[in-house]
Amino acid sequence: MSLRPRAPTHAADSRYDVVGIGNAIVDVLVRADDSFLTEHGLTKGAMTLIDAARAEQLYAAMGPARECSGGSAANTIAALASIGAACAFIGKVRDDQLGQVFAHDIRALGVAFDTAPAPLGAPTARCLIFVTPDAQRTMQTYLGVSVDLGPEDIELKLIADSKITYLEGYLWDPPAAKEAFRKAARAANAAGRLVALSLSDPFCVERHRAEFRALVERHVDLLFANEEEIKSLYQVATFDEALQKVRGHCRVAALTRSAKGAVVVAGDEVHVIDAQPVGRVVDTTGAGDAFAAGFLYGFTHDFDLARAARAGAIAAAEVIGHVGARPEAPLKSLIADRLGAI
């Protein structure tokens, strides 16, 4: 297999370090027992797409919740901005109250978010997140108006102005978003910029395996995946088999393994990084998103790969120590405390 010619890592005069593209989602977080998951037939640990009626039904059955902005790529961009990267985000909200919440929260971090909110159609997307006592999260996503994100929302200048275009695998679910994704990836390649992809979820990989493989070979420079996702992508039984498969398919693959840490592979270079110790794991929602943020910060700020992965591990450790997918503590100083000036 031959690799296509790669763009330089840091093309000159970029305005943004990273532009993220993803479903713009508000999380509705609730603590739940395993019996709730069983009773309602929820697949533990996974992200399942649901329709409006099912969302209503589950919402009516669940306990009091709190609302926080979420979305996988959006979480990564929010955390990246907290660390100090210059970021932009593309995603579709309605002009409703949850859409205002989403837009406020990401802009409040200094992220450029200019996708026009939809004046009509389904409401802003929400993800019902059930956090069980073992800190595992089970996600039920009603995509709402996110499915209206399309190629017309991809501003080519923004892509060309960003060192990295970061895409979430979940975009592959709504058909128009898939086209938006393709347009963005092509534009980034054409502008000599890098394309990063997070595989999002093993079930998402299962839904789109063939296309994801082609994508990784043709367009993706930086791949983020956890153990289950990368094993699903290559349909292999062990982590090591997946590691050998992915090697050479993209410039860098950053593979996360929960408490076992992370492995970064880039051609002949392989780094095995320990997880950051955590006092108590409270809620694993957003752990992968935060890892990607720390890693991307390092990658766009001249860290070597091992140090970038350590920044990722520090960011992930912060997020799993509390309920909610976005950092609550100042990530920049947490990372600087452990890795030295950043």
Residues making contact with its own copies (CB under 8 A) = 31, 59-60, 62-69, 78, 96-98, 101, 104-106, 108-109, 123-124, 324, 326, 328
CB of residue 325 to its own copies, shortest distance in Å: 11
Tokens 């609302």 sit on residue: 67
99 vs 261 by CB, closer to its own copies: 99
221 vs 289 by CB, closer to its own copies: 289
User: Could you tell me if residue 261 is left (phi over 0), alpha (psi between -120 and 50 degrees) or otherwise beta?
Assistant: left
CB of residue 177 to its own copies, shortest distance in Å: 23
SS3 11: coil
9 vs 100 by CB, closer to its own copies: 100
CB of residue 170 to its own copies, shortest distance in Å: 21
62 vs 336 by CB, closer to its own copies: 62
CB of residue 285 to its own copies, shortest distance in Å: 13
Which residue stretches of the chain are H helix?
Answer: 34-39, 52-61, 72-83, 97-107, 156-160, 175-190, 202-207, 209-218, 227-234, 239-246, 287-300, 305-319, 331-339
The β-bridge relationship of strands 66-69 and 25-31 is antiparallel
CA separation for the pair 285, 9 (Å, rounded): 30
Sheet bearing 194-198, strands edge to edge: 112-113, 87-90, 16-21, 162-168, 194-198, 222-226, 252-256, 262-266, 269-273
76 vs 124 by CB, closer to its own copies: 124
* Measured CA angle at 114 (ends 24, 324), to 5 deg: 35
CB of residue 114 to its own copies, shortest distance in Å: 15
59 vs 234 by CB, closer to its own copies: 59
CB of residue 64 to its own copies, shortest distance in Å: 4
* SS3 per-residue string spanning 186-219: HHHHHCCCEEEEECCCHHHHHHCHHHHHHHHHHC
SS3 7: coil
- Cβ–Cβ < 8 Å for 107, 89: no
63 vs 267 by CB, closer to its own copies: 63
In angstroms, what CA-CA distances link 85 with 88, 113, 158, 165, 295? 10, 15, 15, 13, 11
CB of residue 26 to its own copies, shortest distance in Å: 8
128 vs 199 by CB, closer to its own copies: 128
The two structure tokens encoding residue 90: 């593309």
CB of residue 161 to its own copies, shortest distance in Å: 24
CB of residue 135 to its own copies, shortest distance in Å: 15
111 vs 187 by CB, closer to its own copies: 111
CA separation for the pair 5, 19 (Å, rounded): 22
The two structure tokens encoding residue 271: 């780094």
